[in-house]
Structure 1
Amino acid sequence: MTTTKASTPVAKVASYAFWARDGKELARFYAAALGFQLVQEYPDEQGVPTAFLVSNADGSVLYTFYTARDYRAPAWPQDELPFHLDLSFDDVEAGEKRLLELGATKPDHQPGGGQWTVLLDPSGQPFCISAAANWQY
């Protein structure tokens, strides 16, 4: 008798989801920052668009941005963050300038000893930018 070991289910990330006071504004910010496109909007029960999908050209990466009436930005650095994004650029100075033009802001508190820069997206959520690195695992 031959027995077959059942395969272990492994998930794939379907979407990265973010909440903001204005989901569409945040979707537009990250679409521009990442060179992605706003590809679809989803309405709530009253027909008001409240979820916005942003994707890269081949559709392999998907971000969903939700409008949440009661959204509150974290009081960073006092509040610990459950997550944040790290974005890298070949030219960090030019990248920072572009993100600020798109609506990011730069807080006074800058940890990291110059290895990265913290910015706040239009929803007030911190994210970091740094030089592109070749990560090896």
Structure 2
Amino acid sequence: MPLQMKLSAITLDCPDPPALAAFYQQATGLAPHPKSNADFAGLDREDGLFIGFQRVADYRAPSWPDQTVPQQLHICFTVEEDLDEAEARLLELGAGKPDQQPHQDRWRVLTDPAGHPFCIVSS
């Protein structure tokens, strides 16, 4: 019988935890973790999932799709809005959009302000 595990946290390395937490807070509406600080910030979801952001000295952003600096983690978010609307809002918040878009009609690859690639997928 397989071990029953429930994902409880995801933590991203970054150069500025409060700034990256603010980006994801605006993008997701998750609540800021009350013990966030300059070196480690987080967001809480009602079901207990925690997204953390930890300061790393000499941080190097992933270079997707080029793997000179591997992405190491890939996060996908389902969006209720039309993909074009969701993409526009995320770009306003500071996301980037790589030129390479493998299946732009089904999902969009974006990067957060620290360079981590993530996808938005229509629900």
* Same-fold status (TM-score > 0.5): yes
In 2, the alpha carbon distance for the partners of 1:67 and 1:28 equals: 14
Q: Which residue of 2 aligns with 1:29?
A: 23
Specify the alignment match of 1:3 in structure 2: none
Distance in 2 (alpha carbons) for counterparts of 1:11 and 1:116: 28
Q: Are 2:77 and 1:83 equivalent residues in the alignment?
A: no
Cα distance change, pair 78–93 in 1 and its aligned pair in 2 (3 A): same
AA aligned opposite 1:84? H
Q: CA deviation at 1:128?
A: 0.7
Alignment of 1:69-80 (within 5 A): 69-79=57-67, 80=70
CA contact (8 A) 1:24 1:67 kept: no
Q: Name stretches of at least 5 consecutive residues in structure 2 with no aligned partner.
A: none
Letter in 1 for 2:35: E
* Structure number with bigger Rg: 1
Partner of 2:13, secondary structure, is: strand
Q: 2-side partners of 1:115 and 1:12: how far apart? A: 28
Percent identity, please. 33
> Do the aligned partners of residues 27 and 42 (structure 1) sit closer, same or farther apart at CA in structure 2, a change above 3 Å counting?
closer
Tell me, in whole angstroms, the C-alpha distance in 1 between the residues paired with 2:104 and 2:3.
41
Matched, 1:103 2:94: yes
CA distance 1:69–1:90, shift in 2 (3 Å): same
Alpha-carbon distance between aligned partners in 2 of 1:34 and 1:69, rounded to the nearest angstrom: 27
RMSD, aligned α-carbons: 2.0
Paired AA for residue 14 in structure 2: A
Task: Look up the match of 1:40.
Answer: 34
What is the TM-score of this pair, normalised by structure 2? 0.85
Distance 1:9 1:107, change over 3 A: closer
**What amino acid is the match of 2:48?**
S
1:62 aligns with 2:62: no
Q: Which residue of 2 aligns with 1:135?
A: none
| TM-score normalised by L of structure 1 | 0.77
Give the Cα separation in 2 of the matches to 1:8 and 1:117.
33
